Structure 1
């Protein structure tokens, strides 16, 4: 297992839950990134208060206005990130932002499907496209020829509910739009690994576990995994990824999940 040493990281959906946990852990590393970019839709609002508190203590944390469902917002965020990087590249892009509509098969709607797909699938597609020049720059500036998250990587936060083979938790929660959008995100991850690998960028889909977040607590069920445990596990997995792992679907403990 290698050590995760990254120059810069951008986490989307960073104002709460897993996104906030990732930001906290990056800042708390023995050798933290020079830049931690935290994207959220309302950087100055009450929902970003914890991020604001962190930013007051950590000068390397930059909170960025970012709505991944808005192409203009993504481009503006990339310009802000590029300005802070000052000629260096973006090492790690974590597409964490996501939404969930708790509809079953009978009451799923066109509007909800479009909204969920736009955030969960199209957002990461556009993020990869817009931030590709900065990711390529990071890869080119790394002396290692091997793929790793310390060189340049896109990490798409997926879900075990996206697995067509396992159909996990169906009896507990159907969330049809999320299952479909995350399954599509998995295919996007595979496509990104095939398209961006030649530029030295590793791409992986990562299931964080069933985590104790606002989104995770559904149907009166208490998720078994804490945010802290999930994030520690995912960072441990990221530190060990290599070329053989690009384009794969893994969980927070490093297990390969069925498509």
Structure 2
């Protein structure tokens, strides 16, 4: 399996589930990044205890307070990251933070739709905008040809539930606000790929599978460990031919 060679990585939603497991497996890899910026809304709270324990043992892991639905919080986080990088760029931005509510067409309301869009679609948009200078710097400083996660990349953690074509297969769980926000995230990924590719930045949406997390519940097919191992095996092989696509945790293309 190819190893991820990104030297600087930022992950949102890092205190539980897939985000936390990504941090653990990146730290335990054969060549851990020089810096891992793990963000969550409350790094000092009880739900971030495991992250704090990891940070106490790994000096390359930096915990950063961040709410992706809050533009000023994103700007504050960017200043912290830029300060730590000390002139270096950011190789890999993983937009993992997301929210999910069991709402149907009959029960969803405007507040729920807006709340979910702010986190699942607008958050990744603002993260990319704010961290773009650091991503561009990483791309400019790289000697690698083409596009890759080792050079500069935005990875949006999406879902097959954002695929319009695949909706009939999974509509037993309507989750309207989640589906619509992730379809918007998929469109955002395509637009980012067409725009940021010129600056040497790869943009891909990844579906981690149906995972046994708070969001996925214990009914899910995959363990968090299996999903994240899959994602980390896909990241190193991504190139310009994948930019703008939605892929699953095994690297297979999911139709829009």
The answer as to whether partners of 2:78 and 2:131 remain within 8 angstroms in 1 is: yes
**How high is the TM-score relative to the length of structure 1?**
0.97
Aligned-residue offset at 1:146:
1.0
The answer as to whether partners of 2:91 and 2:152 remain within 8 angstroms in 1 is: yes
Aligned-residue offset at 1:145:
2.4
The 4+ residue runs of structure 1 with deviation greater than 6 A are: none
- Counting only pairs closer than 5 Å after superposition, residues 53-202 of structure 1 correspond to structure 2 as 53-167=53-167, 168-171=169-172, 173-202=173-202
Equivalent residue, structure 2, for 1:41: 41
Aligned-residue offset at 1:105:
1.0
2: distance between equivalents of 1:21 and 1:215?
A: 15
The answer as to whether partners of 1:100 and 1:175 remain within 8 angstroms in 2 is: yes
Query: Does the residue aligned with 1:10 lie in a helix, a strand or coil?
Result: strand
2: distance between equivalents of 1:17 and 1:4?
A: 20
Unaligned runs of 5+ in 1: none
1: distance between equivalents of 2:152 and 2:29?
A: 18
Aligned-residue offset at 1:215:
0.6
1: distance between equivalents of 2:208 and 2:148?
A: 19
**1:59-118: CA deviations, max 9, x gaps?**
000000000000000000000000000000000000000001110111111000000000
1: distance between equivalents of 2:162 and 2:45?
A: 32
Query: Does the residue aligned with 1:195 lie in a helix, a strand or coil?
Result: helix
Equivalent residue, structure 2, for 1:225: 222
Aligned-residue offset at 1:198:
0.6
Unaligned runs of 5+ in 2: none
2: distance between equivalents of 1:7 and 1:240?
A: 16
The answer as to whether partners of 1:145 and 1:200 remain within 8 angstroms in 2 is: no
- Counting only pairs closer than 5 Å after superposition, residues 226-241 of structure 1 correspond to structure 2 as 226-241=223-238
**1:32-57: CA deviations, max 9, x gaps?**
00000000000000000000000010
1: distance between equivalents of 2:235 and 2:142?
A: 17
Query: Does the residue aligned with 1:243 lie in a helix, a strand or coil?
Result: coil
Match of 1:251 among 223, 248, 252: 248
